[in-house]
Amino acid sequence: MKTAIFALCFMLITFMLSAQPFQVKKNGITLTYNKQTGTYSLSKDQITYIKDASAYLMLANGQKVSTDKLKDGRQVTEMFIKNNFGKGKRYTVSSKTSTGIALLQHFYFYDTIDGVILELEVRGKNIASNELVPILSNASVASLGKSLYQLAVPFDNDTFISYENNVLAMNNKSSAEVGVVYDRDSGKGLLIGSLDQSVWKSGIAIKGDPGQYTHLATQAGFTDVNITRDSMAHGAIKGDVIRSPKYLVSYDKDWRIGLENYAKIHRKLSPAYVKSWQGATPVGWNSWGVIQEKLNFQNAAGTADYFAKDIPYFRNADGEAFIDLDSFWDNMTPGGMSGDYTQLKQFVRYCDSLGLKPGVYWAPFTDWGHGSGPDRKAEGSQFTFGQLWTKTQKGYHNLDGGRALDPTHPGTLARMDVILGKLVDCGFRMIKVDFLSHAAIESTGFYDKKIQTGMQAYEVGMKHLVDALQGKMLIYAAISPSLATAQFAHMRRIACDAWKTIDQTQYTLNSVSYGWWQTYLYDFIDADHLVFHDESPEVNKARLLSGVVTGTIILGDDLSKKENWQPKMNQYLQDPEILKIIADGKSFRPAGFAEGKAANTYYYKKMGTELYVAVFNYNTAPAAIKIDFIQIGLVVGKKYQAVELFEKAEAELSAEKSIAFEQAGAKLFKIAL
């Protein structure tokens, strides 16, 4: 009798212990896992920012396996970890289905990271899935503030897409790879961001109303024709073990600092495949701004002459400037891209003779002649272009006039070897690679059968590109996936094409307002070519300053011609103060507030004991722009002496005094702290 009572008590105590919530506390963060319900919550400094979240796997047969539906006992294990993040511990909660599929929820706590890293791992026999969701919560969270906004980050920079900063609502669009919800009044916010894009595309859905969010979902396997460009579902991963990407989850006192930290952590976890650029911040010129399809040896050489004679001091800290030939450089290769490269080599030698660095362009994953049929031979092999086209459920992927090529196809790779090999042989030192998002499209089947998703295919193609360039060129990505490209390029255009108008300057700065943190993912980010032709001096100041704020200066006018705007802009381009600002290669941080697809009106950058503040008026009418001193690190109530660097005019700045504009334009202030 006593034995039976003892056994019953032991079982009861064991059940009670197993039912107790599992809890971890680290760096002010608390993870509470309810082993009975299979849900977890995260809080920091007594603020709950994720509540009652579960995780699930969607099998290829349509069956959903969710942690909150499993009834078997959940096991918790703990493991010491040490890697390039530093030291920490990984806590794993595992549960199984009756058919033997195990869901393992990993929670990583590092000594040096102000946040938690989550990952969902699935184990079983011959699993196939195109959707893993490590975070799903439909609980109401009202602790962040009363004026909540959600930032939607684009997957890439194609089709003139913008970042969107909107009041939190149930119809907010999903964000690609990283999502943020924050309180406008306090600046505090929740960030959830994918730390790896080598297998999955991720979507972050945050929905609710301005006083609370009621839905959070982090989906590995996200596609949306308007965001990722895919016309079909995400590819399925197959095997006995499937893992989601790792996701950083952080609650930050300043959502902007949270995004910067996210970028720095991402770069550590997904280090660059391309060797880091050792040279100074790039400056130079690109032919697409004005010359475009009229590119020839004469106007390209004339531009090089302009650099040598008219702007000899417009150079980076290494004394260099790039002269970059964009699309239509094959105007100089009789016989096309398989033709005679003699004139291109002559152009390279001409640039070298002037102390300039020649650059070139190519879009390796697109077929621009697909309208002529599938039977054309692709350069470098016996394959036809029709054999190289990426297959989708709708046939093929066409966007921007180009048809996507399968990055895993030996014909695509051989074509890259031949054309990139010729460009390397010519002696080019920089290459602008474009329409890279075409390489990340989901397919009904890649040539390489081991490749199951668009992001896996993208990695194959981009690694091959880097290898083919042999470390001999600065790699500048134009249209491309925002995060996945960081491993394969030194420099990336922050937005889609922009030319000269104040509206286009605002479009570019929308991407700086919400994507400036990519300055910590890439060696450099860039505002695209800066065109000054036919615009007012004040609008041209704004266009130039958009480049300075982003981090580099690449010009775009036809500089083989003399024009009225040149003397004044030449003065600015060779101003030692402006060149000093871009020397560190990092962008300004946005300040103030903008809503929807608009851009912030001011940005700041601290260098040593000096603070630079860039202020923009995007309206043709007069404007008075007031600066929030607290956001830019200045003391309210104190007056600061400044110099406006374009006009070399002294100014007094205070929190009470607005910056006055008579028309659209920009001002750049230097404040000695």
SS (H, E, C) 201-254: CEEEEEEEECCEEEEEEEEECCCCCCCCCCCCCCCCEEEEEEECCCEEEEEECC
Give the model's pLDDT for residue 83.
86
β-pairing verdict for 524-526 and 491-493: parallel
Closest C-alpha to 569, from 534, 618, 611, 525: 534
Sheet holding 610-617, edge to edge: 589-591, 602-607, 610-617, 665-672, 640-644, 649-653
Give the Å distances, CA to CA, from 140 to 143, 247, 249. Answer: 9, 21, 18
In sequence order, the β-bridge partners of residue 106 are 92, 119
Distance CA 177, CA 198 (A): 12
Task: Find out whether 616 and 601 touch, Cβ atoms under 8 Å.
Answer: yes
Closest C-alpha to 190, from 51, 54, 52: 51
Gap between the terminal Cα atoms of the chain: 82
Distance CA 654, CA 411 (A): 62
SS3 content of the chain, % helix, strand, coil (to 5): 25, 35, 40
Mean pLDDT by 10 residues, the chain (673 residues): 39 43 92 94 94 95 91 88 91 92 96 96 96 97 96 97 97 97 97 98 98 97 97 96 98 97 95 94 98 98 98 98 98 93 98 98 97 95 97 96 98 98 98 98 98 98 98 98 98 96 97 98 97 96 98 98 96 97 96 96 97 97 96 95 97 95 97 94
Give the Å distances, CA to CA, from 227 to 407, 454, 550. Answer: 21, 14, 23
Backbone angles phi, psi at 173, to 5 degrees: -75, 160
Task: List the structure tokens of 576.
Answer: 């030692």
Q: What angle do CA 625, 627, 628 make, to 5 degrees?
A: 145
Task: Find out whether 283 and 552 touch, Cβ atoms under 8 Å.
Answer: yes
What residues contact 656, with CB distance under 8 A and at least 6 apart?
none
Give the model's pLDDT for residue 46.
87
Which domains can be identified in the chain, with CATH numbers?
Answer: 7-269 (2.70.98.10), 283-589 (3.20.20.70), 599-672 (2.60.40.1180)
> Structure pTM?
0.95
Burial (0-12, 13-18, 19+ Cβ within 10 Å), 294: exposed
